[in-house]
């Protein structure tokens, strides 16, 4: 039987380029489908169609009509939920528990939340008083940017693509989505859903293909008005260069090297469970995952023993098997990258408290890309292991003695995405949290999300904020209208 073919969706039609690459199941290395890689003609059609839709059918709709259609997208995704779950699991190997509780529900929530936010968005008005007593009414009208390119990664494929598509479309933009070449399946299903619920052709386009060729062709295209990107910091740098020719607005959500700080007044069990979750969820492949843990000297030994026990009790295996928390990493290439970091840690002199290798299977899973949850100690803050993003299920644990020292050490990084602080002392929480150079600081929690809050990073972790009114702000451009009121 020939493998299923996933194609691009442009101008309201699925388009097969005739040039394919394999889509691999990370559980066993088997080919699950063929991806038809878009070419420059397909990209040109997508851009022209997106422009037309933005200026006509889609852009001309009332906000209410547009948002009603986006709710229909969410409803249809819910009806086809099982297909989305299966597609995400097949592409990523992540556990059913995670896909059911995080990835797919957030996909639909993104559409519902941003449709409602756009519908109820306020604009600014000011009455201006001039020295001579004359007045003016100033108000702003928010207009879409035009054609927005959404470039998304493989770690939370549907969640992160819809996190950008939904607000962009709610604001009246047309979208061209380029998902990661590793994870095209839920994006393909989303294109079917857009088609089924009657999103006007061209308002949503899907371009499949690899980053360097297809992604670059999109971000450097003259017909693209803005780029919103989630992915690695090094890719962000390249995209920024290609966007600079036409001075396109960019929103970047990039890599992280996130700290957890366990103060002496933390609830130890809560902290151990929380750090186990923040380190090992999705095999450490969440940009917000913890890779550096600072534990107060008084709790260090008990913390290490607890975290070791948690890591060793994680069930690794088939995504849908009862109790499995960790599946494989997303790809062979990524498995090799993470293993090379395990080796680097060894070379730098780390002590391995647990893990450090690949779990043994005697079935098809030996061809998969599994990896052990790993806890290490004894490296300096300046070691490469403690400075470079690994994006795997590993954390380094070290001792600290006082608050100002640990704040300085947590900020000793080129990244600035997320941090978590574990303390039962409210004053300490309020004092320390704002001093961490990061876009988000959780206290006694991790990855607790409210879609209305600003999300993003500082330093190498990103440019700008999305979420709530910040998304509406990025995906639209205000025109100030100033009306002189004659006395
Ligand atoms: P990546 O940068 O390799 O790829 C992301 C996307 O960019 C993919 O669709 C890829 O095809 C495309 N791409 C690659 N090169 C391109 C180019 N030259 N021009 C245009 N597009 C290009 O990232 P990844 O490996 O898919 O994802 C993992 C990285 O993403 C990690 O660094 C992680 O921290 C980061 N990430 C950040 C966030 C966040 O919210 N800050 C969220 C998820 C992932
Ligand atoms: O929860 C979100 O909205 C979000 N953007 C999460 C990013 C996770 C990174 O891997």
Q: Per residue in 117-143, pLDDT tens?
A: 999 999 999 999 999 999 999 999 999
Ligand 2 shell residues, CB under 6 Å: 155-156, 160, 163, 286-288, 449, 455
DSSP string, 315-337: -BS-TTSTT--B---S-HHHHHH
Residue 406 CB neighbours (<10 A)? 23
Residue 452 CB-half CA count within 13 A: 5
- 7 falls in which pLDDT band (50, 70, 90)? very high
Which residue's CA is the nearest one to ligand 1's atom 34?
Answer: 255
User: Dihedrals φ, ψ of 221, to 5°?
Assistant: -70, 135
- Torsion on CA atoms 391, 317, 304, 348, rounded to nearest 10: -40
- 3 falls in which pLDDT band (50, 70, 90)? confident
Q: What is the pLDDT of residue 1?
A: 52
Task: Report which secondary-structure segment, H or E, holds 140.
Answer: strand 135-144
pLDDT single digits (tens) 230-239: 999 999 999 9
> If we measure between CA atoms, which residue out of 276, 351, 280, 267 comes closest to residue 307?
276
Q: Give the C-alpha distances (Å, rounded to integers) separating 253 from 152, 196, 397, 411, 415.
A: 10, 30, 26, 19, 11
What is the rounded distance in angstroms from the CA atom of residue 294 to the CA atom of residue 346?
A: 20
Query: Tokens 């394999």 correspond to what residue?
Result: 22
Token digits of residue 368: 């998969």
4-254+461-482 has which CATH code?
3.40.605.10
Q: What is the pLDDT of residue 487?
A: 78
Centre of ligand 1 to C-alpha 202, Å, is 25
- The shares of helix, strand and coil residues in the chain, as percent rounded to the nearest 5, are 40, 20, 35
In the predicted model, what is the mean pLDDT of residues 33-47?
98
Q: Give the C-alpha distances (Å, rounded to integers) separating 439 from 38, 102, 321, 462.
A: 35, 21, 35, 9
CB 181 within 8 A of CB 34: no
Beta strand 250-253 with 462-463: parallel, antiparallel or unpaired?
antiparallel
In the predicted model, what is the mean pLDDT of residues 1-7?
83
Say whether 287 is catalytic.
yes
Instruction: Give the number of the ligand closest to the Cα of residue 217.
Output: 1
What is the rounded distance in angstroms from the CA atom of residue 479 to the CA atom of residue 487?
A: 25
Q: In this prediction, what percent of the chain has a pLDDT beyond 90?
A: 98
Residue 2 CB-half CA count within 13 A: 5
Residues of the chain with CATH 3.40.605.10: 4-254+461-482
- 304 falls in which pLDDT band (50, 70, 90)? very high
In the predicted model, what is the mean pLDDT of residues 166-183?
98
Residues of the chain with CATH 3.40.309.10: 258-450
> If we measure between CA atoms, which residue out of 174, 114, 117, 172 comes closest to residue 143?
172
Centre of ligand 1 to C-alpha 83, Å, is 25
Query: Tokens 């040109």 correspond to what residue?
Result: 44
What is the rounded distance in angstroms from the CA atom of residue 177 to the CA atom of residue 272?
A: 38
Say whether 83 is catalytic.
no
Handedness of CA 4, 156, 79, 73 (dihedral sign): negative
Left if phi > 0, otherwise alpha if psi is -120 to 50, otherwise beta: which for 138? beta
Task: Using the predicted structure, report yes or no on whether residue 486 has a pLDDT greater than 90.
Answer: no
Q: What is the pLDDT of residue 34?
A: 98
Residue from 159, 180, 256, 389 to probe ligand 2 pocket by mutation (most atoms less than 8 Å from CB)? 159
Mean pLDDT for all residues in the chain: 97
Task: Using the predicted structure, report yes or no on whether residue 470 has a pLDDT greater than 70.
Answer: yes
What is the rounded distance in angstroms from the CA atom of residue 106 to the CA atom of residue 112?
A: 10
| Residue 456 CB partners (closer than 8 Å, separation 6+) | 251, 253, 439, 462, 463, 464, 465, 466, 467, 470
pLDDT single digits (tens) 189-198: 999 999 999 9
What is the rounded distance in angstroms from the CA atom of residue 69 to the CA atom of residue 118?
A: 13
pLDDT single digits (tens) 379-432: 999 999 999 999 999 999 999 999 999 999 999 999 999 999 999 999 999 999
CB 209 within 8 A of CB 215: yes
Centre of ligand 1 to C-alpha 153, Å, is 5
Q: What is the pLDDT of residue 69?
A: 98
What is the rounded distance in angstroms from the CA atom of residue 27 to the CA atom of residue 16?
A: 27
Instruction: Give the number of the ligand closest to the Cα of residue 162.
Output: 2
In the predicted model, what is the mean pLDDT of residues 178-188?
98
By the 10 Å C-beta count (0-12 exposed, 13-18 middle, 19+ buried), 139 is classed as middle
What is the rounded distance in angstroms from the CA atom of residue 208 to the CA atom of residue 364?
A: 28
Residue from 253, 278, 291, 467 to probe ligand 2 pocket by mutation (most atoms less than 8 Å from CB)? 253
- Torsion on CA atoms 344, 350, 354, 355, rounded to nearest 10: 10
Beta strand 250-253 with 226-230: parallel, antiparallel or unpaired?
parallel
258-450 has which CATH code?
3.40.309.10
pLDDT single digits (tens) 328-361: 999 999 999 999 999 999 999 999 999 999 999 9
This prediction has a pTM of 0.97
Residue 331 CB-half CA count within 13 A: 14
Residue 102 CB neighbours (<10 A)? 18
Q: Give the C-alpha distances (Å, rounded to integers) separating 429 from 258, 290, 425, 433, 447.
A: 17, 18, 6, 6, 17
Instruction: Give the number of the ligand closest to the Cα of residue 212.
Output: 1
């Amino acid at each position: 039987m020939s493998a299923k073919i996933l194609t691009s969706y442009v101008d309201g039609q699925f388009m097969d380029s005739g040039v394919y690459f394999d889509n691999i199941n990370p559980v066993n290395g088997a080919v699950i489908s063929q991806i038809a890689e878009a070419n420059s003609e397909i990209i040109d059609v997508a851009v022209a169609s997106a422009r037309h839709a933005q200026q006509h059918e889609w852009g001309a709709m009332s906000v209410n009509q547009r948002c009603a259609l986006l709710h229909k997208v969410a409803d249809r995704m819910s009806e086809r939920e099982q297909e989305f779950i299966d597609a995400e699991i097949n592409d990523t190997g992540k556990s059913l528990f995670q896909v059911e509780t995080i990835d797919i529900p957030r996909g639909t929530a993104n559409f519902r939340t941003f449709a409602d936010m756009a519908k109820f968005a306020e604009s600014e008005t000011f009455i201006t008083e001039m020295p001579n007593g004359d007045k003016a009414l100033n108000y702003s009208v928010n207009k879409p940017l035009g054609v927005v390119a959404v470039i998304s990664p493989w770690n939370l494929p549907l969640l992160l693509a819809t996190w950008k598509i939904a607000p962009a479309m709610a604001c009246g933009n047309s979208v061209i989505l380029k998902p990661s070449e590793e994870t095209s399946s839920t994006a393909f299903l989303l294109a079917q859903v857009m088609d089924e619920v009657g999103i006007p052709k061209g308002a949503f386009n899907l371009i499949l293909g690899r980053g360097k060729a297809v992604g670059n062709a999109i971000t450097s295209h003259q017909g693209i008005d803005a780029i919103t990107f989630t992915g690695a910091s090094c890719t962000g740098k390249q995209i920024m260069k290609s966007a600079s020719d036409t001075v396109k607005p960019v929103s970047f959500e990039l890599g992280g090297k996130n700290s957890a700080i366990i103060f002496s007044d933390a609830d130890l069990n809560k902290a151990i469970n929380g750090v186990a979750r923040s380190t090992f969820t999705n095999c450490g492949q969440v940009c917000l995952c913890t890779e550096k843990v600072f534990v107060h000297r008084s709790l260090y030994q008990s913390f290490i023993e607890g975290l070791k026990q948690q890591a060793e009790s994680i069930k690794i295996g088939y995504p849908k098997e009862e109790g499995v928390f960790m599946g494989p990493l997303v790809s062979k290439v990524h498995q090799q990258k993470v293993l090379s970091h395990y080796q680097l840690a060894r070379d730098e002199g780390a002590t391995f408290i647990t893990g450090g290798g690949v779990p043994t299977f005697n079935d098809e899973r030996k061809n998969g890309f599994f990896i052990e949850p790993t806890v290490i100690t004894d490296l300096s803050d300046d070691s490469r292991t403690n400075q470079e993003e690994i994006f795997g299920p590993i954390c380094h644990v070290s001792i600290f003695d006082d608050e100002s020292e640990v704040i300085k050490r947590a900020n000793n990084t080129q990244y600035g995405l997320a941090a978590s602080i574990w303390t039962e002392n409210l004053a300490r929480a309020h004092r320390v949290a704002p001093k961490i150079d990061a876009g988000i600081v959780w206290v006694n929690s991790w990855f607790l999300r409210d879609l209305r809050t600003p999300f993003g990073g500082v330093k190498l972790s990103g440019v700008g904020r999305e979420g709530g009114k910040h998304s509406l702000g990025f995906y639209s451009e205000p025109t100030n209208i100033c009306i002189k009121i004659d006395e």
